[in-house]
Amino acid sequence: THFGFEQVAIDQKESLVRQVFDNVADSYDVMNDLMSGGLHRYWKDYLLEVSSVESMASAVRRTNGDLRILDVAGGTGDVAFRFVNAAGCVERAKSSGEDPVSVTVCDINHEMLRVGDVRARKRFGNSLLDDSRGLRFMQGNAQALEFEDNSFDLYTIAFGLRNVTDVDMALREANRVLKPGGRFICLEFSQVPNELLRTIYDTYSFHVIPAMGQIVAQDRESYQYLVESIRRFSNQDELVTRMKNAGFQVSRYTNLTGGIVALHEGWKS
Ligand code: SAM
């Protein structure tokens, strides 16, 4: 047997996804490096670069404003850690007081958050999470966020949107919690237009990734699911349309690594 959404009712997708990430949480970071040959680091670095978090953070520190960042499906914290580093939250946490820059990681899976919390405390110390509140981990569903309207300047979701049961509902929620003028950025696997690259990539993902999952994490099925979920997800243009339907005025994308991954951006008007 293998996971396949055709055989899985929509209301079961959530528990299936939960089970997959429960299974992979402990080996998630190692597997990410192995499966992508380290490329996920480059994709996440690119997200950081286009987010302008570094310059936005220094602007709010100068002007006594605030900057609120929400990383949904943030898992073990990879994207959020880049934000706290770039925004100077780690230095801030060493002095006293609440940080005007806050990075909130929201994920549906408690195990992923637990791994993230342990990583964050090891890397940055406790004060970033406990005293400055520069970084927080919260459990929550992308489809029904427990935040007020117009709360965040930046909403990011990296390799998470395709796992959500109702993608359009999650996009509407992203739009709702963003402040007017706020920005949405999504990193997600997408479709490779070049035929040769696509053939190589398909062979790799359908054969090599489940085998790696078996060897490294003794879990072939979870990694089979991950590969299948990529194939079932919207292509670049379809996602732009869905973003527009969810209320994002300007929506556009950039292909990374030949379209293996796409970075979509949208602004709330
Ligand atoms: N953003 C992290 C990264 O790039 O390393 C983690 C990505 S991981 C492939 C996908 C994450 O989406 C998992 O941590 C999973 O628990 C989370 N997830 C799945 N469905 C979700 C939902 N409905 N709401 C919030 N998070 C969800």
For residues 150-156, give the mean pLDDT.
98
Q: Which atom of ligand 1 sits closest to the CA of residue 40?
A: 4
Residue 77 structure tokens: 């914290």
Q: What is the pLDDT of residue 27?
A: 85
Residue 164 within any structural domain of the chain = yes
15 alpha carbon to ligand 1 midpoint, in Å? Answer: 13
pLDDT band at 7 (very low <50, low <70, confident <90, very high): very low
Residue 228 within any structural domain of the chain = no
Residue 8 has pLDDT above 50, yes or no: no
Residue 154 has pLDDT above 90, yes or no: yes
Residue 4 within any structural domain of the chain = no
Residue 181 has pLDDT above 80, yes or no: yes
22 Cβ contact list (under 8 Å, min separation 6): 109, 111
> Which stretch of 4-18, 44-58, 141-155 has the lowest confidence by average pLDDT?
4-18
Residue 5 has pLDDT above 70, yes or no: no
Q: What is the pLDDT of residues 206-241, one digit of tens each?
A: 999 999 989 988 889 888 988 999 999 999 999 999
Residue 116 within any structural domain of the chain = yes
Residue 94 within any structural domain of the chain = yes
Q: What is the pLDDT of residues 45-95, one digit of tens each?
A: 999 999 999 999 999 999 989 999 999 999 999 999 999 999 999 999 988
Residues with CB under 6 A from ligand 1: 17, 21, 72-75, 78-79, 107-109, 112, 141-143, 158-160, 163-164
Q: What is the pLDDT of residue 254?
A: 98
Residue 93, domain extent: 37-190+234-267
Per the listing, tokens 């379809």 go with: 238
**Range 165-174 burial, b when 16+ CB lie within 10 A, else e:** bbbeebbbbb
19 Cβ contact list (under 8 Å, min separation 6): none
Q: What is the pLDDT of residue 30?
A: 86
For residues 30-45, give the mean pLDDT.
93
Residue 17 within any structural domain of the chain = no
> CA-CA distance, 77 to 82, in Å (whole number)?
9
Q: Which atom of ligand 1 sits closest to the CA of residue 112?
A: 14
Alpha helices in 25-180 (DSSP H): 28-36, 39-51, 53-63, 78-86, 89-94, 110-124, 127-130, 167-177
* Tally of domains in the chain: 1
Residue 156 within any structural domain of the chain = yes
96 alpha carbon to ligand 1 midpoint, in Å? Answer: 32
99 Cβ contact list (under 8 Å, min separation 6): 89, 92, 93, 132, 133, 134
Identify which of 111, 159, 209, 223 to mutate to test ligand 1's pocket (most ligand atoms within 8 A of the CB): 159
Q: What is the pLDDT of residues 196-209, one digit of tens each?
A: 999 999 999 999 99
Percent of the chain with pLDDT over 90: 79
Q: Which atom of ligand 1 sits closest to the CA of residue 32?
A: 5
CATH number of the domain within which 90 lies: 3.40.50.150
Residue 98 has pLDDT above 60, yes or no: yes
Residue 1 has pLDDT above 60, yes or no: no
Task: Return the higher-pLDDT residue of 16 and 85.
Answer: 85
Residue 79 within any structural domain of the chain = yes
For residues 5-20, give the mean pLDDT.
65
Q: Mean pLDDT over all residues of the chain? A: 92
Q: What is the pLDDT of residue 10?
A: 52
